[in-house]
Amino acid sequence: MTAGEKKEYWRWQETCWIDESKNWRDAKIITAGIDVGSVSSQAVICVDGELYGYNSMRTGNNSPDSARNAINGVLEKSGMKLEDITYVIGTGYGRVNVPFAHKAITEIACHARGANYMGGNTVRTILDMGGQDCKAIHCDDKGKVTNFLMNDKCAAGTGRGMEVIADLMQIPIAELGPRSFDVDEEPEAVSSTCVVFAKSEALGLLKAGYSKNKVIAAYCQAMAERVVSLIERIGVENDFFITGGIAKNPGVVKRIEKLLGTKAVETKLDSQIAGALGAALFGYTLMQKQGASAKAA
């Protein structure tokens, strides 16, 4: 079976964007954040502490290559060279494997910092729903982490599970959220949390006569319930902000908001870049403090 024969429904949109209104050549300090996650990798470039460009793509099976590919996308689009970047910080689970990074910072700190930039300094609670993890983070008005919780034993309620459902239903992943609302009545959540069991259960529901949309709704509800139980352990304090790939799935997000009784802060930016953005911003703060001119290795 080759990729050409089978449609890859799980594939989400990879994006490379730069802010055409800014000229990086005028900037004093250029920093980059590289977030090598389990499923997706992002590179963000900030000029003088402002978002300039980013690239978001699937993590390959080699962390250094994923990091290089991610940053190369932005560099090519902007005509920048790696040497033009003053300071690079790696984050995410592959953060120690970013060959050109000067420093590594945990993704928890970076997501809080990124969310603080994207959602404003009133953001106190962050839910990061990534490819293989789900974290509830509490932070202060500077975006500094004060508490956090994460799923470290089980992938239930993560993006990987959503990818599995997309493939099973043969529906592109971006359509899952909207389709989950196209049901006559809201079904009960899928009872299994385990990704392996949920797949069988979803198949069973289809065979029992559920429509695809209804199964998707049941799965979105299960994911929402799962992450809400995590975030409630840390307490939701406004403002509330969601980062990570699943933030793009309204089927999950709207159900979380309903369960929590509070709306998440909206952003026009790509929620998946929060970690890399936070890393780039940390780099900027560090450079400002040092007033130094370290150049990328």
Q: How many other C-beta atoms are found inside a 10 Å radius of the C-beta of residue 236?
A: 17
Length of the chain: 297
Q: How far is the CB of 155 from another protein (least distance, A)?
A: 3
CB nearer to another protein: give 39 or 220: 39
Q: How far is the CB of 49 from another protein (least distance, A)?
A: 34
Longest distance between any two alpha carbons in the chain, whole Å:
65
Residue 96 engages another protein in binding (rule: CB under 8 A) = no
Residue 120 engages another protein in binding (rule: CB under 8 A) = no
Residue 69 engages another protein in binding (rule: CB under 8 A) = no
Strand 50-58 and strand 15-18: pairing? antiparallel
CB nearer to another protein: give 13 or 191: 191
Q: How far is the CB of 152 from another protein (least distance, A)?
A: 9
Q: How far is the CB of 288 from another protein (least distance, A)?
A: 36
Residue 262 engages another protein in binding (rule: CB under 8 A) = no
Q: How far is the CB of 3 from another protein (least distance, A)?
A: 15
Q: How far is the CB of 35 from another protein (least distance, A)?
A: 16
What's at 238, amino acid-wise?
N
CB nearer to another protein: give 119 or 131: 131
Q: Which of residues 192-211 bind another protein (CB under 8 A)?
A: 192-197, 200, 204, 207-208
Residue 8 engages another protein in binding (rule: CB under 8 A) = no
Question: What does the per-residue mask of binding to another protein show for 138-167, with x meaning CB under 8 A?
Answer: ---------------xxx--x-xx------
CB nearer to another protein: give 38 or 72: 38
What's at 133, amino acid-wise?
D
Q: How many other C-beta atoms are found inside a 10 Å radius of the C-beta of residue 142?
A: 9
Residue 231 engages another protein in binding (rule: CB under 8 A) = no
For the chain, how big is the Rg over CA atoms in Å? 19
Q: How far is the CB of 289 from another protein (least distance, A)?
A: 35
Measure the CA–CA gap between 100 and 64, rounded to whole angstroms.
Answer: 9
- Angle, vertex CA 109, rays to CA 107 and CA 113, nearest 5: 110
The residue among 145, 87, 91, 95 whose CA lies nearest residue 116 is 145
Question: What order of strands is seen across the sheet that includes strand 50-58?
Answer: 15-18, 50-58, 40-47, 30-36, 87-91, 103-104
DSSP 242: E
Measure the CA–CA gap between 142 and 124, rounded to whole angstroms.
Answer: 10
Site of interaction with another protein (CB under 8 A): 38, 61-62, 132, 153-155, 158, 160-161, 192-197, 200, 204, 207-208
